[in-house]
Amino acid sequence: MGLVMARKEWLGKEVQANFSVLITNFALPCAVFNSFQIEYSEEILGLIFRSLALAVVFFTALYLLSLLFARVFRIAEKIRSIWIGCSTFSSVLFIGIPIVSALFGEIGLVILIAFNTIGNLFLFGLGESIFAGRMLVSPRKILSTPAIIAAVLGFLFFVFQITVPEVVSTPLQAIAGFTTPLAMMINGALLSKTLSPRLFTNLSTLQFCFVRLIVIPIILIFFFKVFVTDPLLLQIVALVSCMPSGAVNSVFAEKYSGQGQIASEFIIVSTLLSIVTIPTIFYLVL
């Protein structure tokens, strides 16, 4: 849809910029907050803390591996930050939710939410520096980021079992539902200038997908198998490690380096290929 709208000049740069603001400041925070609207129990609280700790190790390892392979494959300097960012920040929540919900139920979703929370901390803390190619980390800025505020508020609402009235929760859910569609519309608009069969034959894009969808997941799964004894936690780790590049990456890439088009190629091709790679990795490695 984004591609068609851009071709018809309904989705110009100014509109894309406004959509980006809507995603990062409103839709994504609503999605994060809503993910904590679940029933409280001591068991779930303990599971959340274990998942949060594991997620910190996971995203640190994912970032380091992304740095390593960017050097190993000698990724060009002009796109290295995009390559690393798109490899580090994946579509944890929006692709993961339907899969986890179907396979593992509510408990699996709790773990996924914890991973998504840490992923957002990395994205809005470290992510800006990666995509900008210079150090932009500021504790004050991180804590004032809408997605981080939403995560903190959501956790407090969960712990104290504060239920949001339906008159508030309904619009929050509606706004949250715009996150992925808007991000994908931006991706389509950015790709409108270069969409061609080359998208699926571009060696750089295919190389990225090979590393992000196959090599990195296998390394991470075998690494976490060493010390993660909970089968459910290990399966969620495996699933998150297989996730394609996140749609929001194109927003950051365009905002900080004007290279949202390249990020969009990584996102769209990796998302399409993940339909095959996710079940394949699960079957062969777990």
Predicted pLDDT of residue 245: 92
Predicted pLDDT of residue 16: 62
Which amino acid, residue 85? G
Average pLDDT over residues 198-215: 89
Q: Which residue has the higher pLDDT, 229 or 284?
A: 229
Average pLDDT over residues 19-33: 80
Predicted pLDDT of residue 75: 92
**Residues in CB range of 272: below 8 A, 6 or more apart:** none
Average pLDDT over residues 114-122: 85
* Token pair belonging to 187: 């991706």
Predicted pLDDT of residue 247: 78
- Which ranges of the chain does DSSP label H, i.e. alpha helix? 2-7, 13-22, 28-34, 42-72, 77-88, 92-122, 128-132, 139-143, 146-159, 166-176, 179-191, 203-210, 216-225, 231-242, 249-257, 260-285
Which amino acid, residue 76? A
Predicted pLDDT of residue 280: 94
State the SS3 of 1-43.
CHHHHHHCCCCCHHHHHHHHHHHHHHHHHHHHHHCCCCCCCHH
Q: What's the Cα-to-Cα distance from 261 to each of 85, 255, 257, 266, rounded to whole Å?
A: 14, 11, 11, 9
Q: Which residue has the higher pLDDT, 278 or 13?
A: 278
CA–CA separation, 81 and 257 (whole Å): 9
In angstroms, how far apart are the furthest CA atoms of the chain?
54
Of the ranges 93-97, 150-154, 258-262, which one carries the lowest mean pLDDT score?
93-97
- 194: pLDDT strictly greater than 60: no
Beta carbons of 52 and 210 less than 8 angstroms apart: no
Average pLDDT over residues 145-173: 87
Confidence of residue 85 (pLDDT cuts 50, 70, 90): very high
Beta carbons of 162 and 42 less than 8 angstroms apart: no
Phi first, then psi, for residue 76 (nearest 5°) are -55, 140
Percent residues over pLDDT 70 in the chain: 85
**Residues in CB range of 138: below 8 A, 6 or more apart:** none
Q: Which residue has the higher pLDDT, 274 or 18?
A: 274
Average pLDDT over residues 90-104: 78
Predicted pLDDT of residue 105: 79
Q: Which residue has the higher pLDDT, 211 or 249?
A: 211
Beta carbons of 113 and 47 less than 8 angstroms apart: no
- 196: pLDDT strictly greater than 70: no
- Reported as a single tens digit per residue, the pLDDT across 233-250 is 999 999 999 999 987 888
Q: Which residue has the higher pLDDT, 223 or 155?
A: 223
- 133: pLDDT strictly greater than 70: yes
Task: Tell me which residue has tokens 């993961």.
Answer: 96
Handedness of CA 168, 149, 51, 125 (dihedral sign): positive
Q: What is the CATH number of domain 2-285?
A: 1.20.1530.20
- Reported as a single tens digit per residue, the pLDDT across 29-68 is 887 788 788 788 888 889 889 999 999 999 999 999 999 9
Percent residues over pLDDT 90 in the chain: 31
pTM of the entire structure?
0.80
Confidence of residue 277 (pLDDT cuts 50, 70, 90): very high
Q: How big is the chain by its Cα radius of gyration, in Å?
A: 18
